[in-house]
Structure 1
Amino acid sequence: MNSNLELYLVTDEAACLGRDFYWVVEEAVIGGVTMVQLREKSLSTRAFIDRAKRLKNLLEPYNVPLIINDRIDVALAVDADGVHIGQSDMPFPIAYRLLGEGKIIGLSAENQLQLQEAEHWNLSYLAVSPLFATSTKSDIEQPWEIEGLQWARQNSRHPLVVIGGLHAGNAREAVQHGATGIAVVSAICSAPSPQEAARELKKIIQGSMLWRLQTTPDQI
């Protein structure tokens, strides 16, 4: 599971800057993206399902899991690999019961209380959100920052994915201080070359993980 979390792409068609959505995703996967979350806030249910089906077909040859944001019904309709839910979405126990064994379920934690509550659940990963300030999401609490990430790593048994303001300039610091994986939107979707951006991030993540394994093996 943890290897799938290394470089996690969260889609945003607007961030693709007018380029073909599927081209951007495939270029990112070729560059090293290990998991893709389809996030659609404005599509109708039918259009969301159609996009999810097409994306699943694109990702399957690469063995890259497809995660659906928020919508359990869409995930079930296309037999996606899993879902990502926020604090205001369907409660984890219900999502787990509906999806069944073997599916990936990630949950966002925006503060310490939410992280501690998540310790009761058998999550696939916990998203520390947002790590840094970001314009992608405005309806969130204060950023965790690196100090908060270190606290999260010490107080959570789950793999930790960090999202919010991540890019090639700060990914190394995030992994070295406890992140299992890096989730990005614009750092790949808006890059001149999504493939090259993904390749650079993947190299940084793997190098930082190796450093952490050598220095703090109990935290991997």
Structure 2
Amino acid sequence: MPGSGIYLVLDSASCAGRPLAEIAKAAVVGGIRTVQLRCKDMPAAEFLQEVISCARHTSGHATLLVNDRVDVYLAARAAGADVQGVHIGQSDIPVALVRELIGPEAVLGLSAATAAEITAANLVNERTPGTIDYLGVGAVHATPTKADHPEPLGYEGLARIASSSALGCVAIGGLDASDIPGVVSSGATGMAVVRAICAAGDPRAATENLLTLWEGTTP
């Protein structure tokens, strides 16, 4: 399930010029089980081709999610790509409407960073169970991969949010292998990484290391 374990945000601006599909393939071989494809400034047609290319490597091995662009997700599905859902932010299309658009079987993740956003997400799922599958919570630390991130939470803030959420929480924001103990102790069910894999000299080895450390730290 995307709400648990190590979660790769495959960011087009963080791959040091390497093809996204190349990083996706290496991470899947390394054992990653969730890949969110984030291409913030990419035209829809180009983003669609990236989704299709990455899906060739994730299909049957990892859950592939599209960041923000519900239209790209729907187009990829129509093109026959094996993509499983979307992850949206607070300023995107309202989460209940996204669920209507993508259907009941797709995975739907929502970013949240404040107590009010957690309360709202809990309420949505109380009213219509299954609307949201998991929350992406952060930024835990300041990060250059998302310039508009909210005030960093730190581990204590992450723990407060995780304890108040009825959903699994995936921590995100400037995280790497050294953060695993703090993230696990906060009560988060998963940890999203960007540069720790995307910018690694050997993305497969980096993935394997992260997974080994996570599995060795979680109960």
What TM-score results when the alignment is normalised by the length of structure 1?
A: 0.90
Q: Where in structure 1 do 4 or more consecutive aligned residues deviate above 6 Å? A: none
Is 1:189 equivalent to 2:198 in the alignment? yes
Q: Hey, what does 1:25 align to over in structure 2?
A: 24
Q: How does 1:93-108 map to 2 (within 5 A)?
A: 93-108=96-111
1:147 corresponds, among 143, 150, 156, to: 156
Tell me if structure 2 keeps the 8 A contact 1:7–1:201. Answer: yes
Q: Which runs of 5+ in 1 are unaligned?
A: 211-220
Tell me if structure 2 keeps the 8 A contact 1:12–1:40. Answer: yes
Q: Hey, what does 1:9 align to over in structure 2?
A: 8
Matches of 2:167 and 2:4, distance apart in 1: 12
Q: Deviations over 1:165-194 (max 9, x none)?
A: 110111221012211111111010111111
Q: Hey, what does 1:215 align to over in structure 2?
A: none
Tell me the CA shift for residue 140 of structure 1: 2.2
Tell me if structure 2 keeps the 8 A contact 1:81–1:103. Answer: yes
Q: Hey, what does 1:76 align to over in structure 2?
A: 74
Q: Hey, what does 1:43 align to over in structure 2?
A: 42
2:149 partner amino acid? I
Q: Hey, what does 2:117 align to over in structure 1?
A: 114
Give SS of 1:18's match: coil
Q: Deviations over 1:4-42 (max 9, x none)?
A: 631111112332212332222211111121111111122
Tell me the CA shift for residue 61 of structure 1: 3.6
Identity of aligned residues (%): 38
Tell me if structure 1 keeps the 8 A contact 2:143–2:173. Answer: yes
Tell me if structure 1 keeps the 8 A contact 2:12–2:38. Answer: no
Q: Deviations over 1:57-104 (max 9, x none)?
A: 221042x11100111111111122010000100100000011111111
Cα 1:138–1:42 shift into 2, 3 Å:
closer
1:65 partner amino acid? T
For these two proteins, the number of residue pairs brought into alignment is: 208
Cα 1:201–1:125 shift into 2, 3 Å:
same
Matches of 2:183 and 2:146, distance apart in 1: 19
Tell me if structure 1 keeps the 8 A contact 2:197–2:206. Answer: yes
**Alignment root-mean-square deviation, CA:** 1.4
2:90 corresponds, among 78, 87, 109, to: 87
Tell me if structure 2 keeps the 8 A contact 1:5–1:34. Answer: no
What TM-score results when the alignment is normalised by the length of structure 2?
A: 0.90
